[in-house]
Amino acid sequence: MAISLEVNGERVDAQVLPRLNLADFLREQLQLTGTHVGCEHGVCGACTVRVNGEIVRSCLMLAVQTHGASVQTIEGLSDSGEVADLQAAFRDRNALQCGFCTPGMLMAAQDLLKQQAEPDREQIREHLSGNYCRCTGYQAIIDAVETTARARGRGTA
């Protein structure tokens, strides 16, 4: 099937099989390998991307469903600088080890920070509770998101 969509601000026209999921489309056809595949059934959050402004599990969405949509991946968020402060906080706090969950984690964290000015630690833990990280034990991630939230709060105050 022919689909036409916008990915990280670029127009993409592609032929896809109806069964192809968005994660495989991004990784294999567009070579956007920053979107990772961990569980392939919507539990681990590694494949989290943004479709029309909402975060979704790209392993649970078909590529054909994104026809006419705007998709943003970690590559796009990085290049636009939208999450530069969050990434800096992750680096300073060592909030990643193997890094495999990190793109999805950044996606989910940025989603929270857009919705809520200064979430507390419990709210951060809750919002990220669909993103599995085996390395860090989560505390450093919570710290980094909290630090970013406070910095942004100060910046806009």
Considering the rule CB under 8 A, would residue 36 count as an interface residue with other proteins?
yes
Residue 157 CB, shortest distance to other proteins, in Å, is 27
Considering the rule CB under 8 A, would residue 4 count as an interface residue with other proteins?
no
Cα radius of gyration rounded to whole Å, the chain: 16
Residue 70 CB, shortest distance to other proteins, in Å, is 18
Q: Which is nearer to other proteins, 122 or 157 (CB)?
A: 122
Tokens at residue 65, please?
């469903």
Burial, 44: exposed, middle or buried (Cβ in 10 Å; 0-12, 13-18, 19+)? buried
Q: In what order do the strands lie in the sheet with 70-72?
A: 10-15, 2-7, 70-72, 48-51, 54-57
Considering the rule CB under 8 A, would residue 130 count as an interface residue with other proteins?
yes
Task: Output the DSSP codes for 3-51.
Answer: EEEEETTEEEEEE--TT-BHHHIIIIIS--TTS--SSSSSSS-TTEEEE
Q: Which is nearer to other proteins, 120 or 157 (CB)?
A: 120
> Binder to other proteins among 7, 27, 113, 147 (CB under 8 A)?
27
Which positions from 75 through 114 interact with other proteins, judged by CB under 8 A?
Answer: 75, 78, 87, 90-94, 96-103, 106
CA distance 111 to 85: 14
Which one of the spans 61-69, 110-118, 134-142, 146-154 is the region binding other proteins (CB under 8 A)?
Answer: 134-142
Rule CB under 8 A: which residues touch other proteins? Answer: 17, 19, 27, 32-41, 43-44, 46, 73-75, 78, 87, 90-94, 96-103, 106, 121, 124-126, 128-142
